[in-house]
Structure 1
Amino acid sequence: MPVHLLVQQPGREHLPFLQLNPRRGHSTWFTKSKNGISRSINQMMYSMLRFGYPKWSVIPSDERELWFRQFAQEFNWHSDLTETVRKKFNEKAMDSYTKQINAWKTVWQKNKKPRFINGGVWEQLIAHWEREDTAETSSRNYFGLYEF
């Protein structure tokens, strides 16, 4: 069932409602904080991540769609907003994913392992970070931020 039809199904009234111009206490949007959107995406990173993808853009579209379908299980919106919600979800997921990958890399650099991460995903990320071309790109990007 396509997501735009999923959000039309009965029995979804109890879910947090997404609306472009949210009304306090009745609806929310991606620009609001403490609404559960980031928490939902972060939970997906721990439970639905199948491979140690180094960045959001390389996650196959079918997997990103699966994440969006999961999001639609946790939030509700008018079906005519589905493509807008999809766009905002992908922007938020990309930002959250980038931050999480950087946090995991920091943990790895301290010779530690994050709690609750899938062991296979963790090993794949380590393999990516240990590649020479990844280290060179990371170093080049870091030094590009600062003028010495």
Structure 2
Amino acid sequence: MTIEEFVSQPGRQHIPRLHLDEENGSTCLHVSMFGLEGEITKSILNILKTQLNHPWPTYGDVDEDIKKMWFKTFAQDFNWESGHSPKVRRAFDIQANTSYQNHIYAWKQKWKEGKKMPKCLNPEVWQGFIRYWSMDETIFISSQASTNRRSEHGGKGIATYNGGSISIKKHEIKKMIANGGVAPDWIDVMKTTHTSKKTGQIQDPIVGERIERIKLQKMEQLTQFSQNGSSSSIDLPHEEIHRLCVEEIPLTKGRRSGLGSLVSQDRSISSAFLRDNELIQQIQDLNRIVKEKDEAVKELKQQNIKITKQFTEIQTTLSQLQSFISSKFP
């Protein structure tokens, strides 16, 4: 049975349905119900825990047949339009590659610290990883990569991201939902995704410095507007703040560190702002519909109370009438 036939089977309506969000030529997976974004990561993690039977150094080294098997397992947890299967597979590979890389790194740190093998791993697979990590070539490549990362970050340590497994764009959407449809500016998003929960401080020094410079430029513009007699707004428009972010953060390998997929080389600020406005409008429309339904439910409850009261009065009257008739005609 092909994957297209599998996802087209009846009885899968209750399974969370994935939608494709294509942006800048890339495809991202989203769940149709808010709050389930993490289920994609959990599903892939469970696959790695239960079906990893060989110490592949990277996800790219995994046999294609194994990847197909993992994708079919993934299809047991999620559903999608059968015609979208090739695009979902590409998006799955991107997510799986990130998850695989993160867990291989975490397992390697356990080994370097002398900790026990992760319970989810097959002992033979664990020993295979240890042999690979102990190879002179592997040690050299790892050391060189670490040096490169530090040099690319201005010699101020490795770039740190505190947003967990959730992308920066998803954090932006979550904050927008929490704010009742009001989109956060990119300064707020960068602070959220780079602030340590333990210390409450921005952990990446480069990102922290950039945020402070952007905030300073923002204050300078607000001061200038105030001096010019403008009092139409107490803050800069989001589009202007986003422009400051793009100007401050250099483009490196097609991305701007700290902004993630919020903006890229081929995405203009205007188009990003307009797309966010469309999403805001959709959320506001949904909130309005929910409010209208809540008001309708409230009105129905009031009508129900009124009808119940009238019914009780009728029952009392009938009871009194029955008593009167019984007394007159025993």
Same fold (TM over 0.5): yes
**Is 1:110 paired with 2:113?**
yes
Within 2, Cα distance between the matches of 1:137 and 1:33?
Answer: 37
Partner of 2:66: 63
1:1-148 to 2 correspondences below 5 Å: 1-20=1-20, 28=31, 34-112=37-115, 113-147=117-151
Structure 1 runs of 4+ aligned residues shifted over 3 Å read 32-35
Aligned AA for 2:81? H
Partner of 1:24: none
Q: 1:86 to 1:99 in 2, by over 3 A?
A: same
Aligned AA for 2:102? K
Within 2, Cα distance between the matches of 1:93 and 1:71?
Answer: 10
Structure 1, gaps ≥5 residues long: 22-26
Query: Does the Cα contact within 8 Å between 1:28 and 1:35 map onto a contact in 2?
Result: no
Query: Does the Cα contact within 8 Å between 2:31 and 2:37 map onto a contact in 1?
Result: no
Within 1, Cα distance between the matches of 2:51 and 2:7?
Answer: 21
Within 2, Cα distance between the matches of 1:43 and 1:134?
Answer: 27
- Give RMSD over aligned pairs: 1.6
1:8-53 deviation per Cα after TM superposition (whole angstroms, max 9, x unaligned): 00111111101126xxxxx717xx8634110010011110011011
TM-score, with structure 1 as normaliser: 0.89
Aligned AA for 1:14? H
Aligned AA for 1:126? I
Within 1, Cα distance between the matches of 2:132 and 2:119?
Answer: 19
Within 2, Cα distance between the matches of 1:34 and 1:71?
Answer: 14
Structure 2, gaps ≥5 residues long: 22-29, 156-330
TM-score, with structure 2 as normaliser: 0.41
Within 1, Cα distance between the matches of 2:65 and 2:31?
Answer: 27
Within 1, Cα distance between the matches of 2:59 and 2:20?
Answer: 25
Count how many residue pairs are aligned between Structure 1 and Structure 2. Answer: 141
Greater Cα offset, 113-122 or 98-107: 113-122
Within 2, Cα distance between the matches of 1:43 and 1:20?
Answer: 22
Q: Percent identity?
A: 33
When Rg is computed on C-alpha atoms for both structures, the one with the higher figure is 2
